[in-house]
């Protein structure tokens, strides 16, 4: 039988792993979303930006995957059903708008704002070990950087739209 401390430690471990698994899943979704956006974008600068963002999210996936493995757990291998639905929605929207760069960009902005919120909530409501905290804070900083660059991309889309 487990002691109260062992049970508590197990719950802390499980909560940590679940948080990381969910962020991993979200980053799989974001990577696929950016890849899809890259395919839909017309403007070469926008395509390149989306390609860079997909690569960034791939790196995030690898970092989170490693943190989960460091906890002796098996990482998830794909994104969520919700992410698939979101990409389908992007497909429908881009088809209706003639694959308009601005529409693609708006979806990416929406996704990035959701990512920032997700990371902020998890960092605020959980006490992660320092190594995990650093990884998540670095990823959050990069996502915020993406959002700050979006205004420039919106201007490019407007100029070409």
pLDDT in tens, 69-121: 999 999 998 776 665 655 555 554 554 455 578 777 777 788 888 899 999 99
Mean pLDDT of 52-66: 96
Nearest of 121, 152, 155, 147 to residue 53 by alpha carbon? 147
Q: If you average pLDDT over every residue of the chain, what do you get?
A: 84
CATH class of residue range 14-160: mainly alpha
Is residue 41 a contact partner of residue 14, using CB atoms and an 8 Å limit? no
Mean pLDDT of 24-41: 87
Report residue 145's pLDDT band, with 50, 70 and 90 as the boundaries. very high
Residue whose entry in the numeric block shows the structure tokens 């201007």: 155
Residue whose entry in the numeric block shows the structure tokens 């990035």: 112
| pLDDT for the residue numbered 16 | 95
Is residue 147 a contact partner of residue 109, using CB atoms and an 8 Å limit? yes
Is residue 88 a contact partner of residue 55, using CB atoms and an 8 Å limit? no
Q: What's this model's pTM, rounded to 2 decimal places?
A: 0.84
| pLDDT for the residue numbered 94 | 54
Report residue 5's pLDDT band, with 50, 70 and 90 as the boundaries. very high
């Amino acid at each position: 039988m487990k002691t109260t401390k062992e049970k508590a430690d197990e719950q802390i471990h499980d909560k940590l792993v679940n948080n990381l698994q969910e962020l991993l899943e979200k980053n799989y979704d974001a990577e696929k979303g950016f890849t899809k956006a890259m395919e839909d974008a017309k403007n070469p600068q926008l395509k390149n930006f989306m390609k860079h963002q997909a690569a960034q999210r791939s790196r995030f996936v690898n970092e989170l995957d490693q943190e989960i493995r460091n906890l002796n757990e098996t990482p998830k291998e794909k994104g969520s059903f919700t992410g698939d639905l979101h990409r389908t929605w992007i497909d429908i929207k881009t088809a209706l708008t003639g694959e308009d760069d601005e529409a693609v960009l708006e979806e990416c902005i929406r996704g990035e704002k959701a990512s920032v919120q997700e990371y902020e909530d998890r960092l605020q409501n959980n006490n992660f070990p320092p190594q995990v905290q650093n990884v998540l804070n670095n990823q959050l900083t990069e996502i915020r950087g993406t959002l700050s660059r979006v205004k420039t991309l919106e201007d490019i889309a407007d100029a070409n739209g």
